Amino acid sequence: MGDRKRSIPLFDPVAGMRAMAEIQADGLRAASELLERMLEPDRDVPVPRSRSPERDYTALLEAWADLLQRVAAGLARPVEPGTVTVPVDSRVLGPPVRLVLEHSEHECPVAEIWLHNGTSAAVGPLALRCGALTAADGTVLDCAHVRFDPGEVALLPPRSSRGVLASLDASDPLRPGIYRGTIQADGAPNLRLPVEVAIEPC
């Protein structure tokens, strides 16, 4: 990526929202199926005059368990390179950021992180930082680090978003493998993003 600058717009109301919309759509579809199962009578079985409250309670729990499993499956989709959006005041772990490096590539991989301020007050300054990148066997990727452009967002106005580019800056040849770390932000202490760096073999 080098030191060349990239122009990033200050406002983008739709950036990074596609994945979140897909997950919400899956949840709505699952909820619709749940309601149909609960409201539609079983045509093959005569409706009894009285039903046990315990039976109704068990059926409701099973239906909710099925709904939660469907939603969890949607949230656990494979991590893809690209764009993620995270609220700066979020108190939960944000969406994963993935960087894939192929040895045939001449440029470092780049992902886009959209910081969203949905509050009524300005937030800033904000500076993203990534901790050590570590493989499952404990190997630390000490010859590379995640860099951010811009390095600091001076001020994020109310109800606005700002894009930050994340890239892998390496000084030496990298050992193939998958390395993981966590992105945090000065100025937004609750923000946490998992990051995965995949270095593919030749």
Taking only the tens place, the pLDDT of each residue in 55-101 is 666 666 666 665 565 555 444 444 455 789 999 998 888 889 999 88
Higher pLDDT, 59 or 126: 126
Please count the other Cβ atoms lying within 10 Å of the Cβ belonging to residue 111: 21
Residue among 109, 27, 102, 32 at smallest CA distance from 70? 27
Asked if pLDDT for residue 15 goes beyond 70, the answer is: no
- For the domain with range 83-199, which CATH number is right: 3.40.50.2300, 3.30.565.60, 3.40.50.980, 2.60.40.2310? 2.60.40.2310
Q: How confident is the model at residue 182 (pLDDT cuts 50, 70, 90)?
A: very high
Q: What is the pLDDT of residue 32?
A: 63
Residue 49: per-residue pLDDT: 52
φ, ψ at 39 (rounded to 5°): -95, -25
What band does 26 get if pLDDT is binned at 50, 70 and 90?
Answer: low
CB 82, CB 100: distance < 8 Å: no
Report residue 198 as tokens.
Answer: 């995949």
Q: Is the peptide bond before 125 cis (omega within 30 degrees of 0)?
A: yes
Taking residues 136-152, report their average pLDDT. Answer: 91
The pLDDT of residue 91 is 86
Element spanning 9, H or E: none
Q: Starting from the edge strand earliest in sequence, which strands make up the sheet with 188-199, in order?
A: 97-101, 188-199, 177-186, 127-130
For the chain, percent helix, then strand, then coil, each to nearest 5? Answer: 20, 35, 45
Q: Residue 130 pLDDT > 80, yes or no?
A: yes
pLDDT value for 28: 62
pLDDT of amino acid 65 = 64
